[in-house]
Structure 1
Amino acid sequence: MKFVLLFASIICIVDSSSLSCGPDGLCQCEHIDVMDCSENKQLPLRNVCDYMDDSKDVNITILHLEQNGYKYIRTEDIKGCKSLKTLFLKLNEISYIEDVSLTKFDNLKTLDMSFNQLDIYNKRGTLAFKLPLSLKKLVLNGNLNVTDYGGAMYPDLSNLFNVEQLIFDGLKDTNFPESYSEIQSLRSVSLSGLDGNCSIPYVSNDTFQHLTHVRTLNLSFCNIQNVTAGAFEKLKNLEVLDLSQNMNIGFRKAMNVTYSLQFTKIKSLNISKLYPTFGLGTQIKLQDLCYLWNTNLTELVLNDNRIELIDRNVLILTPNTLKIIRAEGNTFTFGPYLYQLGCMSHLEEFYGNFQSIVRDPHLYMKEPNTDESELITINLNCPYTAPEVLKNISKMKRGLCPYLKDNKININKTFPTFPTKMKRLEFSNCGMQYNATDILVKPVPYKMEYIDASDNILYSWIGPCGPFPNVKYLNLSRNYCSHIGLNFFDSFKNLENLQIQENFLGLVLSNEYYGPGIFEKLSKVKVMNLSSNIISYLHPTVFSNMVHLTKLDLSVNNIESLDIDVGSLNNLMHLNLKFNFIHSVPSHLREKLELNSKRLNKNFTIDLSNNTLSVSCDEKDFLEWMVKHRMNMLNFDHYKFHNMSGQRVNAERFVSDVMKLDMDCGSYSLPIVACSIGISVYLSVVIGGAIYKNRWNLRYLMRMNKIKHFGYIRLHQYFNEPERFMYDAFISYANEDLRFILDVMMPKLEGHGLKLCLHDKDFLPGNNIADNILQAIGDSRKTVAVISEQFLKSEWCLFEFNMARMESIYSRGGNSCLIIVILEDVPTRNMSNEMLDWMRTNTYIEYTQEENGELLFWDNFLRVLNA
C-alpha cells in the first residue's frame, strides 16, 4: 500500500506543470532549481531572498524577479540570494544598487538588469556599483536615458575577466573604450535595437576596434546609415556579424562591410532587410559583395531585400566555403544568373521561401523612406571584378561555373548548372505558377536529400524531373495540382517521405491508365500524405509497388470504400482515414495490418475519426474486429458511433451493442429488413447525390420555367431582336460590405455613366426574393459578385452567384455575364466547388487599396463591364 501511495505521489509531481512556492506560495517552481516570482507579484525583495535562505531543502539557482516594480537593491535585501547562478531583474524601475551588494554573489553567471533606470552609460564611463567577478553573461540594454544620448559612454568592465557575453544599448558617436581589449574571455556583444535601444548612424574604423576578442557582433536594427571600409578590420576573431534591419545601408554601401571582413574569421553574415519593404526591386551588382570571395564565409543571410536580379558573374565570386544561403522574402525573377548556380560549388542549403508575398501596407509608415537614387557611392575598386580574374575563377570551377561575357544567352542551347553538393532546397510559398514539364538538372545532385516546393501553383506535374537520385523528402503540398505524369517520379528512386496533400489528385489516382503507374518507381517511400485531395476512389494497384510504405495518410477525402491491393505492403503500420465516409475496413487490409504487426513486433494504428460507424449486421465482422483492437484505434472514444436505430451513442455503448451482434443478427427477418433499408438508403443516396450534384441547374431551370409560364415575354424575344438591358450591372454583395458598395463602387461606376441594380434599392417589395434575383440578373448586362468572407457565409449571395453562373451557361449563348471581384483575401477552402471551378476557367479581378494597384483595378473593371 505504501508503495502505491509513493508511486501515485511521484506521478502527481511529474504531471504537475508547476508548483506553488516562495513567500506565501506566490511564486512558481517548474523545476527543482528554478523559482519564478515575476510579473507584479509585489513581493519585497528581502522576503524572496529570506525564503531562499531559510528553505534548506530547496536549491534554487535560477530566480525570476521581472516586472515587480523594484526601485533599488540594497545589501541587506539580497544577502539570502547569494547562492544564485542566474538572476533576472528585467523590466523593473531600479535606479540605485548599493555599491557592494552584488559582490558576494560568487556563483552568479548570468545577470539580466535590462529595461530599468540605471545610470549605466554615463559620461564617466563607470558603474556606480560593483559586479561579481564570476559573471559570464551581463544584460544591460534598455537602460539608456534618451535625453543624455549624446554624452553616453560604454561602461568600463575590464575587471570582469570571465565575462563572455554582453548585451548593451547601441550608443551614437561612441567607441568602445580600450579597456575592452583586455577582456580576453569576451566572445559576444549585442547592441541590437530589436530588444533595446540602438542608434549608430555612422560606424567608423574606431567604433569597434577594441573588441578584438569578440566572435559574435549583433548590430541589427541600429539605424546604421554608413559604414567605413575598415569598420570591422581590427576584429580579427569575428565569426558572426548581424547587420539585419538597417534599412538605410543598401547593397551599394555593403561593399564597405565586405571589404573589412576580409581581415576577420567571418563565417556567418546576416544582411537581411537592408532596404525598406516597399520600393523598386533590388539588383545585386558585381561590386556589392565581391570581397566575400576573399573570406571563409559559410552562411549568408539575404532575407527581405526585394532582390529581383543578380548581375551576371556575381555568383562566380561566392567563396568556396559558402554552405548556406537564406534568401527568403525576395522577388527573384528569371535572369542569366540562373545559368551560373553551379558557381556555388560547395553550397549545401538554400532557403528561398516566401518570394513575391503580399506585404502589410502598415509597414510603409513604420519604416524609413529611403531614396535609393541618393545612396552614396563607395570609392573602392574591387580587384576581383576584373574580367581576367573572373575568367580564372570560372576555370577553377571546372565547367560548372561559366563566365558570361554579356546577358545574351540562348536558353535552348545553354543549360543551367546546379550546385553539386546541395543537400536541402526550400522554395515554398513563392507564387510559382507553372506546368512542371521536363526539368533537367545538371550535373546530377547526388547529395540532394530535401526539397520543399509547397504552397505554389505547380498545377500539373508531367516530368521527368531531375534526376534527384538520393532525395529522401519531397513536399509538393498545396499546389492546386490535378495531374501527375507517369514519368514524374522516375528519378526519385530513394524517396522516403512524400508530402502531396491538399491538391486535386482524386481523378488521376482513380484513372485506370495513370493510377497504377504514378507511384510505381517509389518503392522506398515510407511516409505518404495524400490528405485533402478530393479522393473518392483509388485504383486498386496504386500502392502495389510501395513495399516499404509504413505510414499512409488518406484523411479529409471522400473515400467510402478502401479496396486497394495490400499484398506487397508488408511494412504498413499506420493508416489515417479520418474525415472520410468509411463504414468499414476491408478484411484483407485488416489481416495485413495484423500480420505486419506480429512480424515487426510493433502496434499498428488506424484513425477513423469523423467517419460514421454504425452497428450493423452487414458489418459485423469489421465491427467486432474494431472493438477487439480498439486500443489500436486512435481517438477511439471520440468516434462518431450510431446504433441500429441511427441514434448517436458513446464509445462504451457502441462496444456493448457490438458485443450483442451475435444475438441480434441471429434471425433472418433482421437481415431482410436491414437489406431493404440498405437498398432504400442506397437509392436515396444515389438519387439525392444526383439531385445535389445538379442542384443549381435544377433550381435555375425551375425558376426560369416559372417565369416563362407565369411571367411576361420580353419584347426582344417576341420580335426576335437583340436584347436591350435595363441595367448595366447587377451587384451581388453581402450586407456587411454595403459601405464599400455605396462609398466606393457606386460613385466610381455611376460616374462613368453605368446604371447599377442593387437589391437594397431595386428589388420589388412583396416579390419572392429568388424571383427578384433572377429578374435582376436577366435585366442586367453583367452580374458582379463581390467576394468576401461574409459573401461566402450568405446563402442568398451564393444563390445569386450560381444563378448568374447558370445564366451564363444556358441563356447568354455561352457569353459569360458573370464577373468576380475578390474584395479581400479569402481562403480557397471556404469556397464552394462550383466557385473554384468557375475561377479556374474564368478570369477574376482582385481589389487592392495600393495606389497604383487600385488604378489598374478600376481600369480593368470598367473595361470588362463595357465589354
Structure 2
Amino acid sequence: MISDKKVKVLDISSTQIRYINMTSFLNHCHNLEFINISRVRVDSFKTDINTMQSCENLKTVDASYTILPSNIVPFHGNSETIYKNANIPININWLNSVNFPKNIRYLNMSGVIPKWISYSFDNFTAEVFGASKLKLEVINIGSNNFGRMDLTLLMPRCPFSKVDLSGCDIRYLNPDAISSFKLLSDIDLSRNKLNSMMAEDFNLFENLFTKLFNLRTIRLASNGLTRLPKYIFAYNLRLEFIDISDNQITEFSCEVNHLTHLRTVDVRRNRIQVIDAATFDTFDNVQILLLGNPIQCSKCDSLDSINWLKNTASSTTNNPDLPLQCENKDSEKVYITDKTINEIQEICNRPKVIIVICCTAFLALVLVVAILFKIRRCQRQRKYQREMEDRIALIREGADESKFVVFLSYSSNDDDFVNKYVYNQLNENLQQKVGKDSNLVCEGDKHFQIGRPIPEQMSRFLRKSSVVVILLTDHFIQSVHCRNEFDHAILLEKPSVLMVKDEIDIEMMNGQMLDLYEHRTRILFMRENDEYIPKTSWENICTSIMIELVEN
C-alpha cells in the first residue's frame, strides 16, 4: 500500500503493532519522507539485513516514546547497565552495505528507554568511522535515562547541528562525549542533574562546551545549578541564546563580554538577589529575562543593580519579564523608584569607616595574592623547566615512550624540497637541542617497513612520535595517504605543527585542516634568490617543538 499509493507522510502514532516485517516495509518505502511512530507499542518484528532495501527519501523519523519488544527492552523491573573500560570502533560505512536509510535529517528517539531502566558509561570510548556519510542534522534522545556519561566519542566530520539530551537524568557528562560535534549550533541539556558534575569536577564542567565553536543556543535549565563557572562560555563566540532558568543560581558571574552575537539570557526562577549591572550593561539589544527572582534592595551592594533595573526596565519595551519590584530591608515588595534608590544610597553612606577598613584589608589581600601569584608563577616556570630537562634527558637516554620527536608528514611530490631544506636541518637542530646523535625525525620512506600495509605502518610510527610536523601544500591536501595521516594524527590527539612554503588553495581543505591552518601559528618559508629559507631560525622551530612535548 505504501509503495503503490506513493505515500510520503505516514503517521501511525499511539497504536499497537503485534508484528511487523521490517524487511518488507523497508522494501516498499521508496517514496516515504516522514514517518511518525511515536508512542507505538511493537510486540515483535522481523528483519533480514541481507535483503532489505533503503528508504532513500526518508528524512524525518519520530520514534519518541516507542515501546520496543520485551526481548529488547524489558517492560518491568529496575535495571542499570554500565558500560566501562572499553574502546569500541563503530564503522557507519557498514550501513551502506545493508541499505540502511542514510538520508534521515531529523531523528527523535526521546523516551524510548523506560523510567525503570538506565544506561551509564564509565571510562568508555567509541570511535565512529564514516560519519561524513550521514546527513543527520537534528537528533533528539531526551527523556532517556543515561545517568553517568563518562564517554569519549571520537566522531570526525559529525553532521549534527542540534542535539537534545534534556530530561536524561545525566549526573556527569564528559566534554569528550560531545566535542566531536563541530557543527553543533543548538544543545539542550535541560532537566538533568549537572550540578552533581560541577560538584565532582568544577574544571571539567567549565570546559563542557570548549570545543563547540559553532554553538548558538545552550539550554541548561532545571539542573540544580547553584552557580556557573566564569569561563564556561569562553570559546562559544557565536552564542545567541543562553537558558539557565529554573536553577538555584544566586548571581550571574560568568564572563560574557566577548559574546557579541548574544541576544537573550534567560535566568528566570532562580535565586538572584543582586544583578551584576556592569556585566549586563555592556551589551546592546540583549533581552534579559528575570521574572521569579528575589531581587533585593536592602543592601548597599544592590545599588548599581537597582539603578540599572530602573533605567533599563523603563526604557526596554521588548522585555516584559524584567521585574519592577524588589524586597526592602523589611522583606516587603516595593516598586523601584527614585525613592528606593535614595534609601539604598543612605545605607551605603552610613558605614564609611567600615568601608575604609574593608578597602585597606582588601588591598592588603590583593597584595598578598599578587605576591603568592608571583611565587606560584616562578614555581611553575621552574617546574616547566625541570619537566623540559627531564623529557630531554629521557629522549637522550632512549627511555622516552616515543622513539621519535617528530613525525614528518608530506607528499612524495615535495621530496626534493624536504630533502634539501627540511629533513637534515630539522634533525640536526633537534639533535643539538636534545644532545643525542641519532635520528629524531621519522619519515615514511625511510622508516616504514617494506611490504607492510601503509595504514598499519602509519599508525605505528605516529604512535612512536611525539609531534607531527606537516608540510602543507596542494599536493598534500590532494593526497589520500596524506589526508589519512592527518586524520589519524588528529584521532590520536598528536600535537601538530604546520609548515608552509607556497600559496595554498584553502578551499580544498577539510574542516579540521582548515581550523588548524587558520588558528595555529605556522612555520613559514620565504623564497630568496631561488632558495627557500624559514622566516624564523631552526633553533626557534625546535624550541617550539620541544615545548609541545612538555605541554602535551
TM-score by length of 1: 0.34
CA separation of 1:553/1:356 partners in 2, compared to 1, >3 Å: closer, same or farther? farther
Partner of 2:146: 458
Q: Conserved in 2, the CA contact under 8 Å of 1:553 and 1:576? A: yes
What's the secondary structure of 1:515's corresponding residue? helix
* Aligned pairs for 1:313-712 within 5 A: 313=49, 316-325=52-61, 327=63, 330-332=66-68, 400-402=95-97, 419-431=101-113, 433-436=118-121, 437-445=124-132, 446-465=134-153, 466-467=155-156, 469-509=158-198, 511-593=201-283, 597=284, 603-615=285-297, 616-630=299-313, 631-632=315-316, 634-635=319-320, 638=323, 641-649=326-334, 651=335, 654-661=336-343, 664-665=346-347, 667-668=349-350
> By how many angstroms is 1:275 displaced?
7.3
* Aligned pairs for 1:818-833 within 5 A: none
Q: Conserved in 1, the CA contact under 8 Å of 2:42 and 2:69? A: no
Q: Conserved in 1, the CA contact under 8 Å of 2:289 and 2:322? A: no
Supply the distance in 2 between the matched residues of 1:489 and 1:642 (Cα, whole angstroms).
42
Supply the distance in 2 between the matched residues of 1:618 and 1:314 (Cα, whole angstroms).
70
Supply the distance in 1 between the matched residues of 2:214 and 2:125 (Cα, whole angstroms).
23
> By how many angstroms is 1:671 displaced?
9.0
Supply the distance in 1 between the matched residues of 2:147 and 2:349 (Cα, whole angstroms).
55
> By how many angstroms is 1:475 displaced?
0.8
Q: 1:566-621: per-residue Cα shift (whole Å, max 9, x none)?
A: 3432322321112122122225422432xxx1xxxxx2121222211222322212
Q: Conserved in 1, the CA contact under 8 Å of 2:63 and 2:109? A: no
> By how many angstroms is 1:507 displaced?
3.4
Supply the distance in 2 between the matched residues of 1:291 and 1:629 (Cα, whole angstroms).
61
Supply the distance in 2 between the matched residues of 1:398 and 1:451 (Cα, whole angstroms).
19
> By how many angstroms is 1:458 displaced?
1.6
Supply the distance in 1 between the matched residues of 2:177 and 2:306 (Cα, whole angstroms).
40
Residue type matched to 1:531 in 2? A
Indicate the percent of aligned positions where both proteins have the same amino acid.
Answer: 17
> By how many angstroms is 1:638 displaced?
4.7
Supply the distance in 2 between the matched residues of 1:637 and 1:399 (Cα, whole angstroms).
53
> By how many angstroms is 1:399 displaced?
5.6
Partner of 1:267: 7
> By how many angstroms is 1:297 displaced?
4.6
Supply the distance in 1 between the matched residues of 2:255 and 2:41 (Cα, whole angstroms).
51
User: How many residues matched?
Assistant: 330
What's the secondary structure of 2:337's corresponding residue? helix
> By how many angstroms is 1:499 displaced?
0.9
Q: 1:193-238: per-residue Cα shift (whole Å, max 9, x none)?
A: xxxxxxxxxxxxxxxxxxxxxxxxxxxxxxxxxxxxxxxxxxxxxx
Q: Conserved in 1, the CA contact under 8 Å of 2:109 and 2:142? A: yes
CA separation of 1:493/1:509 partners in 2, compared to 1, >3 Å: closer, same or farther? farther
Supply the distance in 2 between the matched residues of 1:666 and 1:398 (Cα, whole angstroms).
68
Partner of 1:292: 28
Structure number with bigger Rg: 1
* Aligned pairs for 1:746-757 within 5 A: none
> By how many angstroms is 1:316 displaced?
1.9
Supply the distance in 2 between the matched residues of 1:426 and 1:271 (Cα, whole angstroms).
14
> By how many angstroms is 1:462 displaced?
2.7
Q: Conserved in 1, the CA contact under 8 Å of 2:241 and 2:265? A: yes
What's the secondary structure of 1:451's corresponding residue? strand
What's the secondary structure of 1:462's corresponding residue? strand
Q: Conserved in 2, the CA contact under 8 Å of 1:610 and 1:639? A: no
Residue type matched to 1:556 in 2? D
Supply the distance in 1 between the matched residues of 2:331 and 2:5 (Cα, whole angstroms).
73
Q: Conserved in 2, the CA contact under 8 Å of 1:515 and 1:541? A: no
CA separation of 1:322/1:519 partners in 2, compared to 1, >3 Å: closer, same or farther? closer
Residue type matched to 1:472 in 2? S
Runs of 5+ consecutive residues of structure 2 not aligned to the other structure: 77-91, 359-552
CA separation of 1:284/1:307 partners in 2, compared to 1, >3 Å: closer, same or farther? farther
What's the secondary structure of 1:575's corresponding residue? strand
Bigger shift: residues 618-627 or 639-648: 639-648
Q: 1:499-520: per-residue Cα shift (whole Å, max 9, x none)?
A: 1111111132363331232110
Q: 1:764-812: per-residue Cα shift (whole Å, max 9, x none)?
A: xxxxxxxxxxxxxxxxxxxxxxxxxxxxxxxxxxxxxxxxxxxxxxxxx
Q: Conserved in 2, the CA contact under 8 Å of 1:464 and 1:491? A: no
Q: Conserved in 1, the CA contact under 8 Å of 2:59 and 2:105? A: no
Name the structure where strand makes up a greater proportion of residues.
Answer: 2
Supply the distance in 2 between the matched residues of 1:398 and 1:607 (Cα, whole angstroms).
46
Residue type matched to 1:537 in 2? R
> By how many angstroms is 1:639 displaced?
5.5
Q: 1:405-444: per-residue Cα shift (whole Å, max 9, x none)?
A: xxxxxxxxxxxx9744331111011126222544454421
> By how many angstroms is 1:328 displaced?
5.2
Structure scoring higher RCO (CA < 8 A, sep ≥ 6) equals: 2
Q: Conserved in 2, the CA contact under 8 Å of 1:545 and 1:568? A: no
Supply the distance in 2 between the matched residues of 1:274 and 1:634 (Cα, whole angstroms).
40
Runs of 5+ consecutive residues of structure 1 not aligned to the other structure: 1-256, 337-354, 359-396, 404-416, 598-602, 677-867
> By how many angstroms is 1:530 displaced?
0.8
